[in-house]
Amino acid sequence: MPSPTPPHTVRGVPAGIHLEDGFSSKFAFAVNPTVSLWEIETKPPGVDGGDAIDITTHHNVALRTRAPRQLKSLTETTHKCAYDPQVITQLLSIVNKPGGITQYFPDGSSEDYFGYVRLVEFDPLVEGTFPTATVTVTPTNRDPVTRQEALPVVTAVLGT
C-alpha cells in the first residue's frame, strides 16, 4: 500500500494589516497599573502547543509518527524596562499575585490575559550605562477570582 501524499498548499494573501514599527508598546498589571517601570522593549505572549505525542508503533516501517496535543499554553513574556528604585517595594507586593495583564501594541490594539509577575531581574549598575530591569510575566490562563479557564481577549483597532 503506497504512502499517502500530503496536499500541496498555495500560500494565500494574509488577512489584516501587519505592524510596521515596534514603537511604542506597553503593558499594564491590574494589581498595580502605575508600577514604577518604563517600557523599553516588550515581548507579547506567544502560543505553544506543547511537545508532540509520539504515536509510533511496531507497524511503522520508516518513520516515527507524531500527533499534536489538544491543549495550548500562552508563553511567558519578557519586558525590558527602566525603573525607579522604589519599584522594589512595589514588586514585593505584586510578584506572584495573579491578575489581569494588558499588552498594548503600537497600532492601538491590545491583548488582555490573566497572569502574574514571576521574576524581575535587575541588570548590573555600571557607570555610563542606562539602568534596566527585565520583568518576566507568566500567563495563567485562569481567572483568579472565578478559578475558571480564560482565553486571552484581543481588541483590534479598526483596519487591522
Give me the residue spans of the domains in the chain.
26-50+67-155
Considering the domain 26-50+67-155, what is its CATH architecture? Beta Barrel (2.40)
Quote the pLDDT of residue 1.
63
- 66-70's contacts with Cβ under 8 Å and 24+ in sequence apart are none
What is the per-residue pLDDT across 75-122, written as a single tens digit (0 to 9) for each? 999 999 999 999 999 999 999 999 999 999 999 999 999 999 999 999
pLDDT interval class at 159 (50, 70, 90): low
- Express as a percent the part of the chain with pLDDT over 70: 98
pTM for this entry: 0.89
pLDDT above 70: residue 43 = yes
Backbone angles phi, psi at 73, to 5 degrees: -130, 150
Please report which residue ranges of the chain form alpha helices under DSSP H.
Answer: 87-94
